[in-house]
Amino acid sequence: MDLKQSTLDKIDKLVPRYPDKRSAALPLCHLVQEDLGYLSNESIEWIAERLELEPINISEIVTFYPMLKTEAQGKYQVRVCRTLSCALAGAYKTCKQFEEAFDCKVGSTSEDGLVSLEYVECHADCGRAPVVMIGEKEYTGVKTDEANELIEKIKSGTVETE
C-alpha cells in the first residue's frame, strides 16, 4: 500500500498513545483515508495488521461511519443536508439539481469522477437552510439559483472547497 511517509510517521506516533490498540482503529482509518482518498480492502487489511486485529474489526468501523468511504470519491464531494429545516427549505429539490447537472444519483459518484453526491444530517446551521457542503466549505441558503451557481463553479473548477 502506498502511504506517504508523513502518514506513516503520524500513524507511528498515534498508535502507542492508545493502550488498547483497537481504540486507534478509527483515527487510523481517518489518516489512511486522508492520504489515499478512500479505504480499499487492502487498506482495511493493512490497518488490521498494524493494530494486530482482524480485518472484520476494521470493516465494522468502516461500514458504521458514513464519513469513511470504501470507494474512490469524486474530485468534489457534495453533501446536501436533508434534516427537517433543510428538507422544508427545499433540500431535496436542491439535491435533484445536482443529480441532474452531473448525471449522478445521490449516494454515488459521477462517471467522469467530478462529483460524489450524498445526503448528510443536520450541520447545526438550520437557520440558513438549505445547507450544502462542498468539500469542507459550507454553503447556506442553497435554493435553485444558488445551486445553479455552484454547479457552474464546480464545472469550471472555480468552486471553493475550504
List residues binding ligand FES (CB under 6 A).
Answer: 81, 83-86, 122-126, 129, 131
Closest separation in Å from C-beta 131 to ligand FES: 4
Give 50 or 90: the residue with its C-beta nearer to ligand FES: 90
In this complex, which beta carbon is closest to ligand FES, that of residue 44 or of residue 131? 131
- For ligand FES, give the closer residue by CB, 25 or 131: 131
Q: What is the Cα Rg of the chain in Å?
A: 18
The cell numbers describing 72, all together, are 474512490
Overall size of the chain counted in residues: 162
Q: Which residues contact 52 (CB under 8 A, 6 or more apart)?
A: 21
Q: How far is the CB of 127 from ligand FES (least distance, A)?
A: 8
Closest by CA position to 129, among listed 91, 159, 158: 91
Report helix, strand or coil for 13.
helix
Minimum gap (Å) between residue 81 Cβ and ligand FES: 3
Question: CA nearest 59: which of 49, 72, 44?
Answer: 44
Task: Kindly state the smallest distance separating residue 142's Cβ from ligand FES, in Å.
Answer: 11
Residue 125 CB, shortest distance to ligand FES, in Å, is 5
Q: Which residues contact 21 (CB under 8 A, 6 or more apart)?
A: 15, 51, 52, 53
| 46 vs 98 by CB, closer to ligand FES | 98
